[in-house]
Chains A and B, each alone.
Chain A
Amino acid sequence: MSKKKLTYSLNYRRPKSEYKASDELMICIRYYHKCSKTNKTKIIKKSTGVKCRLSDWNTDWHKSSNRSPVKDSDPNHKKKNKLLKEKVKTFDINELFNNVKNDSYSAYLNPNLPNGDLDKKWTNHKNTINLVSPANKRNIDIIVVGTGLAGGSACATLAELGYNVKAFCFQDSPRRAHSIAAQGGINAAKNYQGDGDSIYRLFYDTVKGGDYRSREENVYRLAEVSANIIDQCVAQGVPFARDYGGLLDNRSFGGVLVSRTFYAKGQTGQQLLLGAYSAMNRQIARGKIKMYNRHEMLDVVLVDGKARGIITRNLVNGGIERHSAHAVVLATGGYGNVFYLSTNAMGSNVTAAWKAHKRGAYFANPCFTQIHPTCIPVSGDHQSKLTLMSESLRNDGRIWVPKNIHDVEGIRDGNLKPTEIKEDDRDYFLERRYPAFGNLVPRDVASRAAKERCDAGFGVNKTGEAVYLDFSSSIIRYGKEQALVNGEDENNEQIVEKLGKEIIKKKYGNLFQMYEKIVDQNPYETPMMIYPAVHYTMGGIWVDYNLMTTIPGLYAIGEANFSDHGANRLGASALMQGLADGYFVLPYTIGDYLSDQISTGPIANDSKEFIIAEKEAIEKLDKLINNKGSKSVDYFHKKLGKIMWNKCGMARNKKDLELAISEISKLRKEFWKEVKVPGDQNQFNEELAKAGRVADFLELGELFAKDALEREESCGGHFREEYQTKEGEATRKKEFQFVSAWEYVGEPRNAILHKEKLEYKNIEVKERSYK
């Protein structure tokens, strides 16, 4: 916290002229707080408890050398001045914000929610927001950063509407964004299976699954447009799985009791992304989208408080470029790589979002991270990333560990095979603890249950951090069904097993192959070994109902924003949200802002704001290159990952989080002293790109820990050991039913908390039970 912003003042309660020289007044510390959204300065006063007579008050205290406000005419002036200086030293702005009563919420955060009944809000909103005429759309430029499901679909739709789109991705082609790796499927309230699904039920499941920490209005809108997504994708030629009647097939996912997930084998994300990519290609060919591949965003540029462009680096030749537009959309994904090991792609990073945060966009709920229960366990220190095994496997796979510790030891020593352990000696712990949902409990619940067993010593691999995911029961069940269909002997074990494996192969073939290549074991013959890993971040940039951040003209969509999943995301909802934001929400809501911008004309990219931002970006790159330290970027990234995983991972507590904050802060200082980046700026230099990303992770990590520390409850993916029931379930607290939106003021741990109250008028807030 910069002390420069602090001043002393007397707390006048009446006009100054009404006071006598002998009157005693309270001395206050004044803090000038600049709100990034309104750009207005607000004065915050805090009483010091020290009083002073008007005649003893030195109005020119700031000009004096010792900066003492109480004159020596006061007999206690030494004591008072000393006390005041101490008060300034310990002045903590956070305390002021945090001590506000829980029923007072930040006036800076206006989610701009539409009026009316929940099911009419989106329609009403669309009917009443301002539009931009087709003739004017031609003159408006929009920058979209990131070309995954959210960014790609937004680019395509904005271009179809007539805007000029500039799209940026750091990969060599928009088709390689990490949405491509999503496996299981996409939810939609189509009710094709006739199992009682509806928009309300999808809304209900999502809010409940998110442990009542998401915004009701946004989630309802998501559920409302979900059905359109499927229609749109089919029309684009996305080859979803179908049944023999030629109609679309569905599967079931965790945390719900209906089958509403559409899928394309284990490659749903790929097929949907290629759909968005093809829609983009059509607009690129028409010249409505200008595509910049291998470009990384380094900063967002604000002109008169509005987002007006970005600074990028061309990753091929190192060229720094200034790009201007009437609005900027961030579709830059999540920040799971702050943990170093995650299921995210190697290049996934927080830089764009973090730079926006530093320019005034509030960052919401950074500690809400999803740890996915079914990933391939870590095998050694050399490991660069973790591989997910789709949640859809939990439809047919049963999770277990041995009941007896001597069986566990036998397996670890290699004397016992999992297939040799009798049915009665297996502990199907999810089915035991959660009979209603069994293996299909939500991800946070499944992850913690696996951790609980492993912590108790029942982990089944050498590191003790793995549980089994077993398909043998399903193989037999499917095999018998198929034998009956084929008219073969359903009691012949060999035939049943063969047929069953064929069915499993059809459903999950590519996942089984992936597993076999990595682990070198055949999952058709022996159960898979799995362990939880960081997968998705529910937190992100704070946005209002229009998906606009606290910076006017800056939008955040997809995983990059915080809005729809609360404290835990349900399976197959990320694809739904990305496409909903990109195809159906942002392209309309952005018009509300742009309708006001039609008279500005083209935005210049050579204004002083652009020049300064560019200079700052270059200086930072130069600093990294010229640092010539002794340790590689990966050294710091791995160290940060260890702190995050051990202290801010699946279970968190006060002591560890406080430690994490100081350790990360220390590591960041060491990074800027010791980091070594080879090569130079004007070339293809992956280490340089990595260094910039890790520098931002080192700041985000600290805010992450701070957020986890301040949220004194357990909810969804955020589990505080201090707040749990006797059975080890999360204890949510009513007083924390708010969104934590953090404002950047310098060191991440000093960020200022703004609360957005969450109200549930259409759903009863109750304890989340999957028993």
Chain B
Amino acid sequence: MKLTLKIWRQKNFETKGRIVNYQIDNISPDMSFLEMLDVLNADLISKDEDPVSFDHDCREGICGSCSLFINGQAHGPDRRITTCQLHMRKFRDGDTIYVEPFRAKAFPVIKDLVVDRSAFDRIQQSGGYISINTSGNTQDANSIPINKDNADDAFDAATCIGCGACVATCKNSSAMLFVGAKVSQYSLLPQGQTEASRRVINMVNQMDLEGFGNCSNTGACEVECPKGISLDNIARMNRELMKASIKK
């Protein structure tokens, strides 16, 4: 395959970025998108040019590092995958492909396609946990049976990989799906009830502080989410927030 790549290059946060054109040849349809970028980088290095920086690590769709906005879509044209799971067979010979970072006010660009997503960490630090210390005498794991449907829903919410596709794709740069997933996971489990009110209030506050936008229910996040986290989680978070505000 022969392709034209239009890639966002930006030296660092302070410098202004721009789209740079690259021609690339001899791409096999069996390559993953990131392997295609590896080929481009090998070429750039041999020509003494600066290779394109992008985040990646596990390359099997679970670590949540990779974060490319390809042809206007978070993680590219396929569904339910991360960028590293996107394969070149989804493109045609001669295609022009735009590659940009995940853009949001809360995700400043570090270099090229690498963004700073530490805002997500700070939201989790504000309440995304159950306050339990490690000890050798916690009660037995089977002492509280959990309704299978709730356990399954909690699991589905917990599969969020924190990649930020929901934010990148949202016209408001909202992080409601990300936060909703965490709030839901704990609100569906008996262990999470004790501090449920504090948790949701703190996490929503932190989300606002970080500069994420609000939700206007377009549902784009659910469509682009590589793990298919459901919009129900946002509804559940709103309900939890409402409950917590009334209690307060």
What's the tally of chain B residues with a CB closer than 8 Å to chain A? 79
B120 cross-chain contacts in A, Cβ below 8 A: 173
A-B contact list, 17 entries, CB within 8 Å? A172-B117, A172-B118, A173-B118, A181-B58, A237-B191, A281-B128, A293-B118, A316-B110, A345-B58, A379-B30, A382-B39, A384-B38, A387-B60, A388-B60, A517-B81, A678-B51, A684-B111
Residue of B56, B85, B140, B148 touching A517 (CB-CB under 8 A): B85
Contacts of B51 in A (CB 8 A): 678, 686-687
A679 near B85: Cβ-Cβ < 8 Å: no
Interface residues of B in 128-155 (CB under 8 A from A): 128-142, 145-148, 151-152, 154-155
CA distance A382 to B59 in the complex (A): 14
Q: Which residue of B lies closest to A379 (CB)?
A: B30
> In chain B between 67 and 81, which residues have their CB closer than 8 angstroms to a CB of chain A?
78, 80-81
| A167 to B: closest C-beta gap in Å | 12
- List of A residues within 8 angstroms of B59 by Cβ: 345-346, 384-385, 387
User: Which listed residue (A233, A278, A684, A687) contacts B129, Cβ 8 A?
Assistant: A278
Query: In angstroms, how far is the closest chain B Cβ from the Cβ of A127?
Result: 13
- Nearest neighbor of A244 in chain B, beta-carbon distance: B148
Known contacts A239-B158, A278-B129, A384-B35; is-contact A587 B48 (Cβ 8 Å) = no
Q: Please, which residues of chain A bring their CB within 8 A of the CB of B185?
A: 237, 239
A271 touches B158 (CB 8 A): yes
Q: Is the CB of A239 within 8 A of B63?
A: no
In the complex, what's the smallest C-beta–C-beta distance from A328 to chain B, in angstroms? 21
Q: CA separation between A291 and B64, bound complex, in Å?
A: 19
**Chain B contacts for A172, CB-based, 8 A:** 55, 65, 116-118
Q: B: which residues have CB within 8 A of A?
A: 11-12, 28, 30-32, 34-35, 38-39, 42, 44-46, 48-51, 53, 55-65, 78, 80-81, 85, 87, 89, 110-111, 114, 116-118, 120-121, 124-126, 128-142, 145-148, 151-152, 154-155, 158-159, 161-162, 185-186, 189, 191-192
For the complex of A and B, the 5 pairs showing the least CB-CB separation, nearest first, are A246-B145, A278-B129, A239-B155, A234-B141, A684-B111
CA distance A172 to B58 in the complex (A): 13
Chain A residues with CB below 8 A from B57, complex form: 171, 176, 178, 345-347
* Known contacts A384-B59, A387-B60; A156 and B134 CB within 8 A of each other: yes
Residues from chain A with a CB closer than 8 A to the CB of B131 are 282
Are A270 and B151 interface neighbours, CB within 8 A? no
A584 near B134: Cβ-Cβ < 8 Å: yes
Q: Which residues from chain B contact A679 at a C-beta distance below 8 Å?
A: 50
* Complex Cα–Cα for A67 and B191 (A): 77
Q: Which residue of chain A lies nearest to B131 when distances are taken between CB atoms in the complex?
A: A282
B132: which of A235, A248, A387, A587 is its contact (CB, 8 Å)? A235
Q: Verify B63–A243 contact, CB threshold 8 A.
A: no
CA distance A244 to B56 in the complex (A): 38
The listed residue (B34, B85, B121, B148) touching A243 by CB distance below 8 A is: B148
- Number of A-B contacts defined by CB within 8 Å: 212
Give residues 500-542 of A contacting B (CB, 8 Å): 513-514, 517-518, 520
In the complex, the answer to whether A153 meets B63 with C-beta atoms within 8 Å is: no
Question: Is the CB–CB distance between A175 and B89 below 8 Å?
Answer: no
The 8 Å CB contact of A281, one of B80, B125, B135, is: B125
Max chain B C-beta neighbours (<10 A), residue from A153, A267, A278, A684? A278
Cβ contacts under 8 Å, A174 to chain B: 121
Residues of B within 8 A of A388 (CB): 60
Whether the pair A632, B141 counts as a contact (CB closer than 8 A) is no
- Add 8 more A-B contacts to A382-B35, A676-B45 (CB < 8 A): A178-B57, A232-B134, A232-B135, A236-B129, A246-B151, A382-B28, A382-B30, A632-B45
Quick check: A236 and B65 within 8 Å, CB to CB?
A: no
On whether the beta carbons of A180 and B139 are closer than 8 Å, the reply is no
In the complex the two chains form, is A285's CB within 8 Å of B31's CB? Answer: no
Question: Which residues of A are found within 8 Å of B116, using beta-carbon distances?
Answer: 172
Q: Are A237 and B134 in contact (CB under 8 A)?
A: no
Contact between chains at A230 and B141 (CB < 8 Å): yes
Shortest CB–CB separation between residue B89 and chain A, in angstroms?
A: 6
State which size class the interface on A falls in: 35 or more
Does A157 sit at the interface, judged by CB under 8 A?
Answer: yes
A686 and B81 alpha carbons, distance in the complex (Å) = 24
A338 touches B (CB below 8 Å)? no
State the Cβ distance, A172 to closest chain B Cβ, in Å. Answer: 6
B53 CB to closest chain A CB (Å) equals: 6
Expressed in whole angstroms, the Cα–Cα distance for A284 and B34 within the complex equals 33
Report yes or no: B129 in contact with A281, Cβ–Cβ below 8 A.
Answer: yes
Whether B125 contacts A285 by the Cβ 8 Å rule is yes
Query: What residues on B are CB-neighbors of A173 within 8 Å?
Result: 117-118, 120-121, 162
Q: A262 CB to closest chain B CB, in angstroms?
A: 8
Task: Indicate if A274 sits at the interface (CB-CB under 8 A).
Answer: yes
Q: Please, how many angstroms separate the alpha-carbon atoms of A106 and B156 in the complex?
A: 52
Q: Residues of A contacting B186 with CB < 8 Å?
A: 237
Residues in A neighbouring B56, C-beta threshold 8 A: 346
A276-319 interface bits toward B, Cβ cutoff 8 Å, 1 = contact, 0 = none: 01110110110000010100000000000000000000001000
Question: By the criterion CB–CB under 8 Å, are B87 and A520 in contact?
Answer: yes
Residue of A nearest to B111 (CB): A684
Tell me whether A228 is interfacial, beta carbon within 8 Å.
yes
Assuming the A-B contacts A181-B62, A346-B59, are A678 and B134 also in contact, with contact meaning beta carbons closer than 8 angstroms in the complex? Answer: no
A271 to B140, CA, bound (A): 19
A234 to B56, CA, bound (A): 30
Report how far A278 CA is from B186 CA in the complex, Å.
12
Known contacts A281-B129, A380-B28, A517-B81; A267/B87 CB under 8 A: no
A730: interface (CB < 8 Å): no
B residues near A117, Cβ cutoff 8 Å: none
Known A172-B116, A246-B147; judge A285-B134 contact (CB<8 A): no
Inter-subunit contact A678/B48 (CB<8 Å):
yes
- A513–B226 alpha-carbon span in the complex (Å): 12
Given A231-B140, A271-B158, A683 contacting B63 (CB threshold 8 A): no
Q: Does A66 contact B (CB under 8 A)?
A: no
Asked whether, in the complex, the Cβ of A236 is within 8 Å of the Cβ of B60, the reply is: no
Which residue of chain A has the shortest Cβ distance to B138 in the bound complex? A231
A583-B63 contact in complex given A239-B189, A246-B147, C-beta closer than 8 Å? no
Asked if A678 and B121 make an inter-chain contact with CB atoms under 8 angstroms apart, the answer reads: no
Q: Are B148 and A380 in contact (CB under 8 A)?
A: no
A267 lies within 8 A of B159 (CB)? yes
Other-chain residue from B31, B128, B148, B159 in contact with A242 (beta carbon distance below 8 A): B148
Q: Let me know if A236 and B53 touch, CB within 8 A.
A: no
Q: Give the residues in chain A near B121, CB-CB below 8 Å.
A: 173-175, 281, 284, 291, 293
Measured in the bound complex, the distance between the Cα atoms of B162 and A279 in whole Å is 17
Measured between alpha carbons, how far is A247 from B143 in the docked complex, in Å? 9
Knowing A180-B63, A278-B128, say if A235 contacts B142 (CB, 8 Å). Answer: no
Chain B CB within 8 A of A24 CB: no
* B130 CB contacts on chain A under 8 angstroms: 235-237, 278
Check if A265 is an interface residue, CB within 8 A of chain B: yes
Q: Are A271 and B155 in contact (CB-based, < 8 A)?
A: yes
- Given known pairs A231-B140, A382-B31, the reply for A683 and B148 (CB within 8 Å) is no
Nearest CB in chain A to that of B57: its residue: A345
B89 touches A520 (CB 8 A): yes
